[in-house]
């Protein structure tokens, strides 16, 4: 909040994306991969905030999932699209898996750097496999 540089980067990125919108569609696969990496990182941020507040592991996992998911919800709402989390796509489930992996590995006394990488890979691989093989959660309503 103290450094205005982030605001400038966001504004310039939004302007760039608006101007070159038709060209960005060619980067859809790359953007998906970077978005998935972002989900992994944001999940970790939420988990770390919960740990720093001495919260229970389940609450930390919920915080990580919300942190990673709701940025995308806001983005999709602003773009007038149905948020990804409300579609069948594996999204929040990957975040929850990362949280469980994080806490499971931390019980095994593995160094934090390795835990971060392994748990991040869990999110990325889960999302990539779910999209590639069209794995989706079942719906509870009929269309």
CA distances from 97 to 13, 31, 37, 83, 110 (A): 31, 22, 14, 20, 18
- In the predicted structure, residue 143 carries a pLDDT above the cut 60: no
pLDDT tens digit string along 70-96?
Answer: 888 887 887 788 887 777 778 889 999
Longest dimension (CA), the chain: 49
- Predicted TM-score of the model (pTM): 0.79
Angle at which helix 28-52 crosses helix 57-78, to 10 degrees, equals: 140
Sign, CA dihedral 83-89-92-94, equals: negative
Q: What is the domain partition of the chain in residue ranges?
A: 26-132
């Amino acid at each position: 909040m103290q450094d205005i540089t982030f605001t400038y980067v966001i504004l310039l990125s939004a302007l760039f994306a608006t101007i070159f919108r038709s060209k960005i569609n060619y980067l859809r696969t790359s953007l998906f991969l970077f978005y998935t990496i972002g989900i992994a990182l944001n999940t970790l941020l939420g988990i770390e905030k919960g740990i720093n507040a001495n919260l229970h592991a389940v609450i930390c996992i919920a915080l990580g999932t919300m942190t990673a998911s709701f940025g995308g919800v806001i983005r999709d709402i602003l773009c007038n699209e149905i948020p990804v989390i409300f579609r069948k796509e594996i999204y929040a489930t990957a975040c929850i898996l990362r949280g469980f992996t994080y806490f499971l590995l931390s019980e095994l006394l593995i160094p934090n750097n390795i835990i971060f990488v392994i748990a991040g890979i869990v999110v990325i691989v889960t999302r990539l496999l779910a999209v590639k093989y069209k794995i989706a959660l079942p719906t509870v309503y009929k269309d």
